[in-house]
Structure 1
Amino acid sequence: MRLSHWILSVLLCCISFTASAQKKISYRFATRAEAQMLITDIDNFTNRLNSFDINLRLNKENGRKSELLRLAMNETLNWSENEKKKITAAFKSLQAKIDKQKLKIKYPQEVILVKTSMKEEMNVAAYTRKNWIALGEKYINESTPESLEYLLAHEMFHLLTRSNKDFKKSVYSVIGFNVTDRELFFPIDIIEKRISNPDIEMYDSYAEFTINGQKQKCSMMIYSAIPFSAGKTLSDYLSVGLIPLNDSLIPLQENGQTVIYSIDQAEDFYQKIGKNTEYIINPEEILADNFAYLVTQKKNLPNPEIIQKIAAILK
């Protein structure tokens, strides 16, 4: 190879590496028409909604999935120019902080932003599905630049773990969770009372906790211990449980019912997940908060080592 060709090849490699290392967040704002198609898609989330999920979101008994999808479709909205400017400024600030820390993040090829009233998802601030983020109109208008940056970073994390299994495995290991190559199987008694979270596309993780003095593999699950009753809110139902698994990663049962431990029964729960966040319903949400704290450069955390380990993965 001629020297000039070799130099050119080296330069091209450097350019290619730099472009990859400095990849920016690519996003766009969905029109209401596109949002209606996205939000009514039968994907992993909508396909797995149980009767409790549907009743909870509709706040009525005997609700139907078609009613929920119709509600979701009707609650989509068009973006205003002011909202676009506010979100664009937040993304720009986030990208500057990511670049400053030299974090190498492999973003999805495209992120779509959907605007909704959030009535379809119990008035939360935001949620994700596939490669899109739904943002609530009320939260957008009332948020500060700092809180909007945090929210976007938190939601972006869900897209990253969804699109990159290797990243998911690495980052989950920071708090002691293993990610399996297939989704875990749960018996029908758990499936019927599981509270679905659109940010958790797959239940494919477990960690080893000390329960009653013994090590036990467990998967985390959000569920309701009481039946649905109109008029209650999500907080009235929400329980967080640890479901013990055998060596084949099958949930343990007693008297035909799946065993569920409370997180308080795990003696080393907080030793593993830390105390940086109170949003401890699932490893996905625990890590999304920690990731958001990293990229927004939050200081004075109780467990900064968690942030440092995530940063190491991204460097």
Structure 2
Amino acid sequence: MKKRIVSITLAVVMTSFLLTGCNKENIANEDNNNTETDSGDGLSTLDSSDTTESEPDADVADSSDTDIETEITTDTDSQTFNYHFADQDEAISCFLSNEDYFNGFSTCDLQYKTGKKDGTIEDYKEFGVSQMLEFTDSEKESIDKLMAEIEEDIASNGYYIPEVDEITFIKSTQDEENGSGAYTHGTQIYFGQSFVDLFTSDDPDYYKYGKSILWHEIFHCLTRNNPDFRAYMYSIINFTVQDNEYDIPPSVFDKYISNPDVEHHNAYATFHINGEDIDCYTVLIATKPFEKEGDSFFDCMETALVPVDGSDIYYVPDDADNFWDVFGMNTGYVIDPEECMADNFSYALTYGLEEDYESPEIIEAIIDYLSMQK
């Protein structure tokens, strides 16, 4: 789940953040401003119809319609990814297929995502259906070009990419996720106009950033299709994946915001909190209750560290002395190990080792894995 933004917060990472790195002081300063909504933070959004951006912003459907089927190369045996573009009818069908996601909503979720205090799952479905769009032919061609470049990058570097089911690209307004720029369900990848515009941009920096966004979303598809890959990627940033899901305690679930990119809460890391080592998993929460139409959870979201022992309590990043030691310093998108590693993976595949990372060992570990698995 990526937010269309003007600059970085805890939730979303700008390209400038990637290229220059970050430090704990900068992150702390940005996080302290996370309630601002109209200028230098990541909570200001671009209208989805606006194709001009001042900075680069940081499932599976079976179709018999061969007109929308797109091959990356003519050699299907050698290509890594099979994909197609959904028309509006298929987009609606895909969206409605995600019952497990809908059934996991908290009341807080429904309120923010429907814009109503008494919003229901049916309200959300009805609203979501109305947000599904179609790609233009030129937009499809631009994504085809990016996917072909991705295939070339994989081949030229000799990388091993785990197998993944066919990807379905879907276009939507993104209002169904409070204005997120992109998100996934299974192997469905949903893009809003602001990110599609990156794919079609003539500016090489914007275009390359668009490629990193595409890799970020593909990572979510890869982890869903490959549990061992997911476990290894998470281990790079000190998280251990367990077989069983953790039960979110009541006081946390009251504030819980579901993230379509995060299907599981079954990975923990050890955080140093109040002089103790406490094993915690991460949950996305809203720090204030929904009040009125127009409220966005992006304006008040926070990473909660929830103890695995079942205690009905949570901590925030500032409570953990080693928070940034756990997640590393390459990205501020640290609401979950899934999102943190999706960013790092996208950096490794898009920029390689050429950039000045604050935590280069994470990028090195990803590239080593991709280079040694064949």
Which bracket does the TM-score occupy, shorter chain normalised? 0.7 to 0.9
Matched with 2:116 is 60
Structure number with bigger Rg:
1
Matched with 2:229 is 167
**Aligned-residue CA RMSD (Å):** 1.6
C-alpha displacement of 1:267: 1.1
Structure 1 window deviating more from structure 2 (225-234 vs 29-38): it is: 225-234
Paired with 2:271 and 2:79, the residues of 1 have a C-alpha distance of 38
Matched with 2:59 is none
**Residues 42 and 293 (structure 1), Cα distance of their counterparts in 2 relative to 1, 3 Å cut:** closer
Paired with 1:198 and 1:208, the residues of 2 have a C-alpha distance of 25
Residues 170-205 of structure 1: CA deviation (Å, up to 9, x unaligned): 110000001111211122332232110000011111
Paired with 2:262 and 2:174, the residues of 1 have a C-alpha distance of 18
What secondary structure is seen at the aligned counterpart in 2 of 1:108? Answer: coil
Paired with 1:148 and 1:222, the residues of 2 have a C-alpha distance of 25
What secondary structure is seen at the aligned counterpart in 1 of 2:118? Answer: coil
What secondary structure is seen at the aligned counterpart in 2 of 1:261? Answer: coil
1:41-190 correspondence to structure 2 within 5 Å: 41-142=97-198, 144-190=206-252
Matched with 2:343 is 289
- Contact 2:79–2:151 at 8 Å: present in 1 too? no
What secondary structure is seen at the aligned counterpart in 1 of 2:215? Answer: helix
C-alpha displacement of 1:206: 0.5
Matched with 2:49 is none
Matched with 2:275 is 213
- Contact 1:209–1:269 at 8 Å: present in 2 too? yes
Matched with 2:313 is 259
Residue number among 198, 202, 218 corresponding to 2:260 in the alignment: 198
Paired with 1:127 and 1:68, the residues of 2 have a C-alpha distance of 16
TM-score, structure 2 as length reference: 0.73
- Contact 1:35–1:114 at 8 Å: present in 2 too? yes
Paired with 2:122 and 2:176, the residues of 1 have a C-alpha distance of 12
Sequence identity percentage: 30
What secondary structure is seen at the aligned counterpart in 1 of 2:279? Answer: strand
C-alpha displacement of 1:142: 4.9
C-alpha displacement of 1:43: 2.9
Matched with 2:301 is 238
Gaps of 5+ in 1: 1-18, 253-257
Paired with 1:171 and 1:210, the residues of 2 have a C-alpha distance of 22
Aligned length: 287
Paired with 1:39 and 1:240, the residues of 2 have a C-alpha distance of 26
Paired with 1:184 and 1:75, the residues of 2 have a C-alpha distance of 32
- Contact 1:44–1:201 at 8 Å: present in 2 too? no
Residue number among 319, 322, 326 corresponding to 1:272 in the alignment: 326
The amino acid of 1:260's aligned partner reads Y
What secondary structure is seen at the aligned counterpart in 1 of 2:180? Answer: coil
C-alpha displacement of 1:102: 1.7
**Structure with bigger RCO (C-alpha 8 Å, 6+ apart):** 2
- Contact 2:98–2:185 at 8 Å: present in 1 too? no
- Contact 1:154–1:292 at 8 Å: present in 2 too? yes
Matched with 2:81 is 25
